[in-house]
Homo-oligomer: A and B are copies of this chain.
Amino acid sequence: MDPALVLRPLDAGDLDLICTHRRLMFGESGRPAEVLAAMADPFRAWLTPRLADGSYFGWAIESGGDVVAGLGMMVIDWPPHPSHPTDGRRGYILNVFVDPLHRGRGLAKRLMAEAEAEAERRGLSYLILHATKAGRPLYEGLGWDATSEMAKLLPISR
């Protein structure tokens, strides 16, 4: 990574930043602006205590004092599973965002390496994420594979 870039952990002061990254990420992936507007306050309210207590953690990369990339992570409770048979946890990576002006410089790769190193420090053996179409080739190149997850949106939400 360019030596002018500095990687640091996220902290409680990064609340706005993470909210912005989440909105920009989903906006680029084609989610409607009105849905992202509806999500904004609930996501902020959800994130605030989790960022404060460290259950949401991650890293930012700064360039000249400005954050130009970020990645969030959580340890989630999950039933012991063939992919992690003796552990009731999996790591979840979310809100990966790189400023458009800084793409193609390996920043997402650097953040993903940090997330994997942290997973190993915490003894996590299985990580998941949800990829945008644009992000997928990066993750495939880093050894990630599609899972069999399926979803259904119920009429109640429409």
Contacts and interface: CB of A to CB of B under 8 A. Distances in A.
Interface of A: 22, 26, 31-32, 35-36, 38-39, 42-43, 46-47, 76-77, 79-88, 94, 116, 119-120, 123-133, 136, 139-140, 142-154, 156-157
A147 B153 CA distance: 12
B132 A139 contact: no
The 8 closest A-B pairs by CB, nearest first: A125-B157, A39-B85, A149-B149, A42-B80, A38-B85, A31-B82, A144-B150, A43-B80
A139 to B, nearest CB: 5
Nearest to A127: B152
A1 to B, nearest CB: 21
Given A26-B82, A128-B150, 17 more contacts: A38-B85, A39-B80, A42-B85, A43-B79, A83-B153, A119-B154, A124-B156, A126-B157, A127-B154, A128-B149, A131-B149, A131-B150, A136-B148, A142-B152, A144-B150, A144-B151, A147-B151
Given A38-B86, A79-B94, A85-B35, A150 B125 contact: no
Nearest to A83: B153
Contact of A82 (B35, B126, B129, B154): B35
Contact of A47 (B79, B86, B154): B79
